[in-house]
Amino acid sequence: MKRVILLITILAAVICPAQQKPKSAPAKSAPTKPAPDTQTFRDTTYGIRYKLPAGWVDRTKDIQQGNDSSIAEVFLAIFERPPEVVGDTVNSAVIIAREDATTVPGLKAAAQYIDPLNKILTSQGFKSNGEASTLEINARELVRADFVKPRTEKLNMHQSTLVLLQKGQIVTFTFIAGSEEDVEELIQGLSFVPASRAR
């Protein structure tokens, strides 16, 4: 279990703001009018759909390198700006990953994933932002945990992780941004196709 949770905390560290002015952004290599399908991440195994924010940077392949996909796998890792470009704001991100539920002894419900997640994130400087709750998206029930990490006197990093237990796998959806409102907006991009079509 720690494999994916630690990956999330490493990613959080990567996107934390540095205390300096942002560097100039690199030239965009994406076409100006991408095909409609390139704006949506799709996973047919779990029926996941995620509408990608325009202009964001996809670093999924970089993060996947060296991971044992039979145990854990990152499906999507996108950032508002390249992680190596430092700035004075939170670099918003969306990370979708899965791990084998057998890595968590006795796991029978998604809610059981929250306690170890909370322990690891609080050890990294995050604070739980309220009790875990349930959230339903397209008839899929997910467990939601919210966290906040102070970066400066006026700047906080907000993180919401949604947990889905499906097909013997733990699927996590992590949204990171500089405000609760921005996190909510990122969550709005997540949807699921009906179970009968998710093959």
Spatial separation of the C-alpha atoms in residues 136 and 132, rounded to whole Å? 13
Strand 140-150 relative to strand 93-100: parallel, antiparallel, unpaired?
unpaired
Return the pLDDT at 94.
Answer: 96
CA dihedral 158, 173, 21, 155 (to 10 degrees): 0
> Are residues 177 and 90 in contact, defined by beta-carbon separation less than 8 angstroms?
yes
User: For the chain, what percent of residues have pLDDT higher than 90?
Assistant: 52
Average of per-residue pLDDT values in the chain: 81
Q: Positive or negative, the Cα torsion across 49, 50, 51, 55?
A: negative
pLDDT at residue 93 is higher than 50: yes
Question: What's the distance, CA 182 to chain centroid?
Answer: 13
Q: What is the average per-residue pLDDT within 132-147? A: 96
Q: What is the average per-residue pLDDT within 94-109? A: 89
74-89 pLDDT, tens digit per residue, is 999 999 998 888 878 8
pLDDT at residue 170 is higher than 90: yes
Q: Can you list the domains of the chain with their CATH numbers?
A: 2-16+40-193 (3.40.1000.10)
Question: What's the distance, CA 21 to chain centroid?
Answer: 25
Q: What is the average per-residue pLDDT within 49-71? A: 84
User: Residue 124: how many CA atoms within 13 Å on its side-chain side?
Assistant: 24
Please state the pTM of the whole predicted model: 0.82
